[in-house]
Amino acid sequence: MRGVWPTPAAREEFRPSELQAAMDDYSERGPQYFAGEPRAGFAVYNFSGSRVLVLCERRGLVSLMTPDEVEEEQRKAGYR
């Protein structure tokens, strides 16, 4: 893993301790899902029953995103 980038929305919605806990788990267990381009892995974390954080690793960079951001990124890439 070359780097970690929490999006502004993820930084706004989740506490630093939650972002760190998700990263620690991801570092230990790795991605839960694989899709799209080669070496693209995803993991999904649920906090407080209603807040969802998505970790997306592409080419060694891990992005911490909200589901809305993932959907927007897919739309821009032409997947939806």
For 48-59, the pLDDT digits (tens) are 888 999 999 988
Q: Residue 1: is its pLDDT beyond 70?
A: no
pLDDT tens digits for 13-49? 999 999 999 999 999 998 888 876 666 888 999 998 8
Query: In the chain, where does DSSP find H-type helix?
Result: 8-13, 16-29, 67-76
Residues 13, 61: Cα–Cα separation, whole Å: 21
In this predicted structure, what is the pLDDT of residue 80? 57
Query: How many DSSP H helices and E strands does the chain contain?
Result: 3, 5
